Chain A
Amino acid sequence: MANYVMVLDYKNCINCKACEIACKEENGVLLGADKHRIWVGSNNPKGEWPKLDIASAAFLPSQCQQCENAPCQDVCPTNATYYDKNGVVQVDSDKCILCSYCMVACPYDARYVDDRTTTVDKCTFCSDTRLARGEVTTACQNTCPTKVRTFGDIDDPDSEVSELLRTREHFSLKSNLGTKPKLFYLT
């Protein structure tokens, strides 16, 4: 049993979107712009040329934050959303009734409807694919050309993620909501 987290050195992101493609390919996510488990967000740079505010146009890769205190799990009427043995938030498609409450409750807009099962789908840290095959990286991490993402077990003090979180300042998204996300952004 592990306690998986992801650390993102997001300032390295070049918005190549290879992670989005790798995720779709690896996990068989359907085509279509609104069918995505992960995404890279960006803002248009503020200001007027030539004094553009470059910092305002930073890229922010995001996905399900694998919250330790997940609102989507709390609101699920049939316990279809659950924490697996590695602390990853998963959806049991046999139990999902598609009431969409989790989609409304998720603060990160990380859930969408998979048209094949007509149930809700989300990032699983590649639990059903790469991790199930014994690999130790996720597809998005593996493909990233600028090594934005690091994935690992935070309970292992010798893991790279533990080392990064010990030595680098970091923040979580919408941490004021008490969701305790397991995605950490390095500053």
Chain B
Amino acid sequence: METVAKKSSTIKEFIRSIPINKIGVKDLLNFEKSPLNIFLAALTLVFLGLFVIGVLFYLLHGHHAYNVTREHPWGLLIAVYIFFVVSSTGLCIVGSLGDVFGFKDYMAISKRAIFGSIVTIVAGFAVIAFEIGHPITMMIYNVLTPGLTSAIWWMGTLYGLYLTFMIIEFVFLLKNDMKSAKTFGLIGLLVGLAAHSNLGGVFGFLNARTISNGVFYPTYFILTAFITGVFIAFIMMGFRYKLSFPKEIQTMLSGLAKIQALLISILIFFVTWKFLTDVYGGMPNRAEVAEHILGSWTFWTEVILAMLIPLTIILASKASAYKAIFFASLSGMVGIFFMRYNLVHDTQLKPLQEMKIREYQLPPEWIHYFPSATEIMISLGGLGLCLALYYVGTKLFSLDTEH
């Protein structure tokens, strides 16, 4: 009994020793009232409002509030979930550069990036909770009757563990216990990478969908996660230092920009070869889907915003035009959103039942999908939640690394 009481008091003591700023509503409203800040605050509130409305519609109408169908069961919310968890994994990788791998130049962003990885995955979970039909049943039967051959089971379970490790790592970072932060950071990073490649596996295991089937997505997900992490790192730092970066931050951003140029180049190389192999030989169900994707504006939006614009700016400025790279990173994140949307939609483009089954209709050719208002509201709400949590975090915690 005494030991239990002792342990509980030790835990309480540990929690009490985590440096958290005591804040109230006043502190939250206390920010520089520049037009941009007011606009962002209003936008966040609008997004949160839309989230509430979207969730209400979903609770009233279920999946009928979404434009998902029998032939296209995964819609915008799956894409947005992927967008957030990719961001989380990316921020975890960027955060790990300093505190796990010991690259001193990148220590300045470790705490902020790890906090960002927690916030983004929480936003992802908030969105997916309204896409999964029975989230409570999921938590129960994921444990009672686990489907070990299911990539979704592995992805969900590993992401749950990952979030736990990220929180523990963040706590140790706050306490400036770098040794423990490194240990939990490394475990978290490995679990995160495993979870994330499993998310790629969710698509890669689809034997019937030849456009997605194979090793491409599990590896591509890790690469694009790193790219996303660097984009967000630039955005976070841009807002933190209002685009006038101190010397040590410039050193870090220059390094990150060079890494980013390499990563985007590899991505372009990967994507080029994916499409070449997809189209080559005109293989049924693969070549025509690839050609269809190549003819879609969403694909070129992804290429231009996430690849060409950032790469051109980084290369043209020799990784030193930090302000321009900040804006290129904003463009990059819009491109990354399209990347996720395309991945989900393109997987389901080709109907698997290709004959007509009703009179007065043509045989199905391509599956059409456009998100419903509810799907868009919940997705924007996820972004609002992410921004709000991040803002609260900047008030609650000291996210700058002391030098």
Interface residues of A (CB under 8 A from B): 33-34, 36, 39-44, 60, 62, 71, 74-80, 94-101, 103-109, 111-113, 115, 118-119, 174, 177-178
- Knowing A34-B70, A75-B150, A78-B145, say if A96 contacts B355 (CB, 8 Å): no
Picked from A95, A111, A177, the residue with its CB within 8 Å of the CB of B137 is A95
Interface residue B353 (Cβ < 8 Å from any Cβ of A)? yes
Q: Mark B130-143, 1 if CB is under 8 A from A, else 0.
A: 00111101100110
Which of chain A's residues have a CB closer than 8 A to the CB of B347? Answer: 104
Picked from A43, A99, A111, A119, the residue with its CB within 8 Å of the CB of B138 is A99
How many whole Å from B371's CB to the nearest CB in chain A? 15
Are B207 and A97 closer than 8 Å at their CB atoms?
no
Between B62, B64, B207, B209, the greatest number of chain A beta carbons within 10 A of the residue's beta carbon is seen for B207
Are A95 and B150 closer than 8 Å at their CB atoms?
no
How many whole Å from B379's CB to the nearest CB in chain A? 17
Picked from A43, A74, A105, A115, the residue with its CB within 8 Å of the CB of B356 is A43
Interface residue B22 (Cβ < 8 Å from any Cβ of A)? no
Interface residues of B (CB under 8 A from A): 62-64, 68-71, 73-74, 132-135, 137-138, 141-142, 145-147, 149-153, 156, 202, 205-209, 347-348, 351-358, 362-363
Give chain A's interface secondary structure class.
Answer: loop
Are B208 and A78 closer than 8 Å at their CB atoms?
no
Are A33 and B358 closer than 8 Å at their CB atoms?
yes
CA–CA, A113 to B74, complex, Å?
13
Smallest CB-CB separation from A34: which chain B residue?
Answer: B70
Are B150 and A104 closer than 8 Å at their CB atoms?
no
Which of chain B's residues have a CB closer than 8 A to the CB of A94? Answer: 137
- Knowing A43-B363, A104-B347, say if A99 contacts B132 (CB, 8 Å): yes
CA–CA, A44 to B356, complex, Å?
8
Picked from B70, B138, B153, B362, the residue with its CB within 8 Å of the CB of A103 is B70
Smallest CB-CB separation from B202: which chain A residue?
Answer: A101
Among all A-B residue pairs, the 3 with the closest Cβ atoms: A98-B133, A41-B355, A107-B208
Smallest CB-CB separation from A178: which chain B residue?
Answer: B207
- Knowing A44-B363, A113-B63, say if A78 contacts B353 (CB, 8 Å): no
Are B355 and A42 closer than 8 Å at their CB atoms?
yes
CA–CA, A107 to B351, complex, Å?
10
Which of chain B's residues have a CB closer than 8 A to the CB of A108? Answer: 352-353
Which of chain A's residues have a CB closer than 8 A to the CB of B146? Answer: 77-79
